[in-house]
Homo-oligomer: A and B are copies of this chain.
Amino acid sequence: MKISNNIINCKSCVYRNLLYEMLSDEEYGLVNSSRREMIFKRNELIIQEGDEISEFMYLRKGLVKLYKTNSKGKDQILSINRPGDFINLLSIFSNKTQQYSVSVLEETHVCAVKIDTIFDLVKLNSEFSIRVMNRMSYIADEIIHKRFEINQRQVKGRVAYMLRFLAEQIYNKNEFRMPITRRELGELISMTTENTIRTMSEFRKDGIIEMEGKNVNIVDFDRLKKVCEMG
């Protein structure tokens, strides 16, 4: 990780609308003065489960995974997050430590605002409070809903679901470079690496996708959808 010294002006930030729009100039100044920006490279750890929470963090750029590690050292990925997502909002008001780990899939720029500032803003501006609650609600629903969808499918349906997610939500096109390994894909859908690889191969043999290393091209989206809906 390195601290960025090329800090982009907040006025032009996407979060101005997403979270900070109701703040007065003075309140917005509080955010800026307690804010720092960091750059993380692939595989770096941004947040470790169990750490003290001292900053509220969100992505300005990049892609990360949010996950938990079990007692046997196995990871379970809860979500893939990108700019516009608040990576630790769900834990900030918990009076606990970080509940999830976050690590980097694609080079990521993180904005970090001191948590005390966030508490101050909540005290100063009730519109901001409500927006924070709104975002918490959204984040929780995203994670819970994704698990709900995954749990009712079996391997093929799960892989299809995640490929759709990547194509539709993350990259907005049918051809993309997988941001995660097959093992990580397995950790996302609670399946073994081998089965995940096998299923991808099967989709290739069936003519649903084309693959070359990490590059994936969904050539028969309708069939992918069907597999996704069948379970």
Contacts and interface: CB of A to CB of B under 8 A. Distances in A.
Contact of A130 (B74, B122, B139, B148): B122
Interface string A75-112: 01010000000000011111100010000000000000
Interface in A134-154: 134, 136-141, 143-145, 147-148, 151-152
Please give the count of copies of this chain that the complex contains. Answer: 2
A94 B148 contact: no
Given A74-B152, A76-B152, A90-B137, 12 more contacts: A78-B148, A92-B137, A93-B134, A93-B136, A99-B145, A122-B130, A126-B126, A129-B133, A132-B133, A136-B136, A144-B147, A147-B147
A123 interface: yes
Given A151-B151, A152-B76, A94 B141 contact: yes
A22 B138 CA distance: 26
B90 A148 contact: no
A119 B143 CA distance: 25
A169 interface: no
A151 B78 contact: no
Contact of A99 (B124, B126, B141, B152): B141
Contacts of A124: 126
Contacts of A93: 130, 133-134, 136-137
Interface in A9-44: none
Contacts of A143: 140, 144
A99 B91 CA distance: 21
A223 interface: no
A94 B138 contact: yes
Contacts of A94: 134, 137-138, 141
Interface centre among A78, A92, A99, A136 (most CB of B within 10 A): A136
Given A148-B68, A148-B76, A136 B134 contact: no
Closest 4 CB pairs of A and B: A93-B133, A140-B140, A94-B137, A123-B126
